Amino acid sequence: MVTGSSMASREHRNETSATVPQKAADPPESQPGFGFPRDCRLTSGQEYQHVFGQRQAASDSVMTVFAARNGLSFSRLGLSVSRRKVGNSVSRHRWKRMLREAFRLTRHELPVGFDWVIVPRRAEQPTLAEAQSSLKKLTARLARRLERPSS
């Protein structure tokens, strides 16, 4: 049995939820190019093995970046953040979020047509600006190396 007050509150809830305007999601073409769609990620072990198998890497004090050509019109990112180097799960996930954000914000400045795998080199997490600078410098170095004709 439904009492009058509970029925009235249900009706009030339905009225208020119906009158609250729902914000529609912007279509992808109207959003700026700073997203990080699934297409821009390395998702399988085979993709990681391909990048590591190319044995092309560049390092600085912040990270090591491995690279391989992917034959696509965009670059993809993979992360390898180990417990041994970085620490517990909170630290690893913080590193991953920061590295994804650095890639997302600098993706339009990075060379295209490559798969990048980033491995942190130290447990202390750098600032976002340091990560972005390091990522731009290392990917440019690797792109130059991979574009040279092999002898």
Which pLDDT tens digit goes with each residue over 15-66? 444 443 333 333 333 345 566 777 788 888 999 999 999 899 999 999 999 9
Instruction: Quote the pTM value.
Output: 0.72
Query: Would you place residue 3 in the very low, low, confident or very high pLDDT band (cuts 50, 70, 90)?
Result: low
**Which CATH class, in words, describes the domain spanning 39-146?**
alpha beta
Residue with tokens 């044995």: 55
Phi-psi region at 113: left, alpha or beta (left = phi > 0; alpha = psi -120 to 50): left
Q: CB-side exposure of 83: number of CA atoms within 13 Å?
A: 3
Which pLDDT tens digit goes with each residue over 74-113? 889 999 988 888 888 999 999 999 999 999 999 889 999 8
The kind and range of the H/E element at 129 are helix 128-147
Phi-psi region at 71: left, alpha or beta (left = phi > 0; alpha = psi -120 to 50): left
Q: Where are the domains of the chain?
A: 39-146
Cβ–Cβ < 8 Å for 78, 108:
no
Say what the pLDDT of residue 86 is: 85
Say what the pLDDT of residue 2 is: 54
